[in-house]
Amino acid sequence: MSLPAVLEPYPRTDAGAAALAALLGDPGQAMLAFDFDGTLAPIVDDPEQAHASERSVHALQRIGPCVGKLAVVTGRPVRTALRLGRFAEHDGLSHLTILGQYGAERWDADTGAESVPPPPAAVAEVRDALPALLDSLGLPEVRIEDKGRAVVLHTRLLDDPGAAQGLLEGPVADLARRHGLAAEPGRYVVEVRDPSVDKGAALRTLVAETGMRTIVYAGDDLGDLPAYAALKGMRDHGEADVMLVAVASDEQQALMPRADLVVHGPDELAGWLERLADALGC
């Protein structure tokens, strides 16, 4: 089928265009999944104020009843994503599942059921060791965010956030390894977490559970690479039609060459979702 003009920008790959056509042709067999920060919510100086875009949430309210599944797959705890997204407060999102902490936590809108297992003890051990490490590096002003199952170091508010992140990455990775954890860089952050969970495995499990045949996934940062890899593997093996969306920024371009569709920032994604709702007649 030809794609409606309202959906510009179009996917730049044949595989992406085929997945979008499949979504429009049979939305009941489609899942739309999203990262949270930098995708549904803008990146801000204080991560506790990173509220989801009202435009995106309203567009998802329209789209939700038309598609088989909506998902938010985030490094945030599910309770934080619920608070910042206000997803439980909106009609039209009964098909939504939030997979938090890269899939270790889960919340389902249709039942309100929440699964939040206890965090690994190693995360608390790393968190307690970080202030001394930061002092030794001359970076005591780096902000430490405790996410329970992960701990995040933020350099965004420093005078030279990129240089500070560069100084942090090696020593923090060494500290994480000593505790059986992994250190993952992002947009002026370094996150220490359990390496046994990632967005790719979380998405594969959700796709298998729901049986969806068309998957659209949007992300913006390095933590989304496992999701990209898992979904591309599913596409390559004929398991699903897949469209990968990169929410581009000046801070991170790793997803762009891998993406079928590129939008520039959460506002442009929100506009595209509004146009998708129009095209679906939702």
**Per-residue pLDDT tens for 236-256?**
999 999 999 999 988 888 899
Task: For 32-83, write each residue's pLDDT tens digit.
Answer: 999 999 999 999 888 889 999 999 999 999 999 999 999 999 999 999 999 9
Cβ distance 220 to 248 under 8 Å?
Answer: yes
Neighbours of 137 (CB within 10 A): 15
Q: What is the pLDDT of residue 213?
A: 97
Residues of the chain with confidence (pLDDT) below 70: 1
H-state helical runs in 65-219:
78-85, 121-136, 161-178, 199-210
pLDDT of residue 7: 84
DSSP state of 273: H
User: Edge to edge, what strands does the sheet with 150-154 contain?
Assistant: 143-146, 150-154, 189-193, 182-185
| 3-class secondary-structure state, position 146 | strand
Report the predicted TM-score, pTM, of the whole model to 2 decimal places. 0.90
| pLDDT score recorded for residue 4 | 79
Kindly list the structural domains of the chain, giving each domain's residue range(s) and its CATH number in brackets, ordered by start.
5-116+197-280 (3.40.50.1000), 121-193 (3.30.70.1020)
Given this model, what pLDDT does residue 10 score?
86
Q: What is the pLDDT of residue 2?
A: 73
Per-residue pLDDT, 1: 57
Q: Report the DSSP beta bridge partners of residue 31.
A: 69, 215
Strand runs labelled E in the chain: 30-34, 69-73, 96-100, 105-108, 114-115, 143-146, 150-154, 182-185, 189-193, 214-219, 241-248, 261-264
